[in-house]
Homo-oligomer: A and B are copies of this chain.
Amino acid sequence: MAEGPGAADARVISDRLAAALPEESGDIGELVRAMRYAVEGGKRLRGLIVLESARIHGVPAAAALDAAAAIEAMHAYSLVHDDLPAMDDDALRRGRPTVHVAFGEAMAILVGDALQSLAFDLVAGIDGVPAERVVDLARRLARQSGMAGMAGGQWCDIAAERGGRPADPMAHISHIQRLKTGALFRWSAEAGAMLAGADPAPMTAYADALGLAFQIRDDLLDVDGDAAAVGKAVGKDAGRGKATFVELMGADGARARAAALADEAVAALAGFGPEADPLRDLARFAVARVT
């Protein structure tokens, strides 16, 4: 993430993930190697939000890093499963063959399954913070990733592709975004507050604006982007007949909305001083990124 903020922190998160996935021999070693492959690359945006949220709330760095690695493991699992032939059937991710292309479908299913377990392992292993808060954070992660969060959103997305056009497509895709991608952004931003025992409400508002801005930017990149730069197939959403923010608002409208949402995210942090500048930068980066 040389082009974005937090490149050094992104490396620290990657190192934490690598440490959680040590080299092993035998069949298990094969699984762990495929898990490492799955978590490599990526902008670590969710993990960076965790680290910055933890910083402005005074959470110990080691606890924050475990939470950051956890959300990146969870995110990586969701990508591996979403890319499967029975789901979005994508062959390219982060500029490389997807896990099922590189290692086969059975392995990809298990890599995703084991990465979800690893996410909870990392959260439940958080040290130096009262256990009540760790339990709450683990439960919140379960809710945000399960049927009423990310997994539910992915099903709604698939169902939308198969079903007819909904009556209110904008409400429909906004609902899918809140679940499918918004849920993990929300957890990431709230994590620091929850670990500090602080009110997470400003972080929730920040995350909801940033998450939606991020998704709109994703839709813009799907239309405008260069597959080599973006690192995954582009132009697929339109080909699938999926409604996108760009289609519903036009490219200019989408760009304006994403910019307004970045401003909203920044405004949500009004109660914080300069210590929250990295979070403000992340919000601006989310709508300016080219990959």
Residue numbers of A with Cβ under 8 A of B are 21, 26-28, 30-32, 35, 77, 81, 84, 86-87, 104-107, 109-110, 112-114, 116-118, 120-121, 124-125, 130-132, 134-136, 138-139, 141-143, 145-149, 151-152, 154-156, 158-160
Question: Which residues of the other chain, B, contact A120 by a CB distance below 8 angstroms?
Answer: 120, 138-139, 141-142
Do A105 and B118 form a contact, CB below 8 Å, given A27-B156, A113-B112, A124-B135?
no
Q: Determine the distance from Cα of A88 to Cα of B107 in the docked complex, in whole angstroms.
A: 12
A-B contact pairs, 11 of them (CB 8 A): A27-B152, A28-B152, A35-B147, A81-B113, A106-B155, A114-B147, A117-B146, A120-B138, A124-B139, A134-B135, A135-B135
Looking at the assembled complex, report how far the CB atom of A258 sits from the nearest CB atom of chain B, in whole angstroms.
26
Q: Determine the distance from Cα of A98 to Cα of B156 in the docked complex, in whole angstroms.
A: 22
Q: Are A155 and B116 in contact (CB under 8 A)?
A: no
Closest 3 CB pairs of A and B: A117-B146, A124-B139, A121-B142
Do A155 and B124 form a contact, CB below 8 Å, given A86-B106, A131-B135?
no
Q: Determine the distance from Cα of A35 to Cα of B146 in the docked complex, in whole angstroms.
A: 11
Looking at the assembled complex, report how far the CB atom of A13 sits from the nearest CB atom of chain B, in whole angstroms.
19
Question: Which residues of the other chain, B, contact A87 by a CB distance below 8 angstroms?
Answer: 106, 109
Q: Are A152 and B114 in contact (CB under 8 A)?
A: yes
- Contacts A27-B155, A28-B156, A87-B106 aside, 16 further interface pairs with beta carbons under 8 A come to A27-B156, A28-B152, A31-B155, A86-B105, A113-B146, A114-B146, A114-B151, A116-B117, A118-B142, A120-B138, A121-B139, A124-B142, A131-B134, A134-B135, A135-B138, A138-B138
- B28, B124, B130, B158: the one within 8 Å of A138 (CB): B124
Q: Are B32 and A147 in contact (CB under 8 A)?
A: yes
Do A28 and B124 form a contact, CB below 8 Å, given A86-B106, A86-B109, A134-B131?
no
- B77, B110, B131, B147: the one within 8 Å of A154 (CB): B110
Looking at the assembled complex, report how far the CB atom of A250 sits from the nearest CB atom of chain B, in whole angstroms.
27
Q: Determine the distance from Cα of A143 to Cα of B123 in the docked complex, in whole angstroms.
A: 12
Question: Which residues of the other chain, B, contact A77 by a CB distance below 8 angstroms?
Answer: 113
Question: Which residues of the other chain, B, contact A124 by a CB distance below 8 angstroms?
Answer: 135-136, 138-139, 142
